[in-house]
Amino acid sequence: MLKPGGRFAVSDVVVNGEVPAAVRRSMELWIGCIAGAMAHDEYRSKLAAAGFESVEVEPTRVYRTADARQFLAAEGIDVDAIVPEIDGKFMSAFIRA
């Protein structure tokens, strides 16, 4: 339990925007920790609801389609067709509150 005025800080994977379920499942295979990735707005909301203030989500690495192209193609996914749905939507971030 945090004391009043305490701080929260983690490094996690977050999602920026909607991602189709089929694409998300394939991305989960590539980035193991993405299975429970929350949208950054949801992260902010949940921390605010828990009483945290000044919630920040600071991206540290934005994953591009090129990072997963070989893997996704090996899974039988038409990478060029899904670029608009996934490019830049997954990111590592520092979350502070």
- In this prediction the pTM is 0.65
Q: What percent of the chain has pLDDT over 70?
A: 84
Instruction: Give 39's contacts (C-beta < 8 A, 6+ positions apart).
Output: 14, 15, 16, 17
Instruction: Write out pLDDT tens, residues 21-64.
Output: 766 676 665 565 555 678 889 889 999 998 888 999 898 998 88
Specify the DSSP class assigned to residue 95. E
Instruction: Write out pLDDT tens, residues 60-80.
Output: 998 888 887 887 788 787 888
- Residue spans of the domains in the chain: they are 20-96
- Least Cα distance to 63 among 85, 84, 81, 86 occurs for 86
Number of H helices, E strands in the chain: 4, 4
The pLDDT assigned to 32 comes to 59
**Strands, E, within 1-97: which ranges?**
9-15, 38-39, 56-63, 90-96
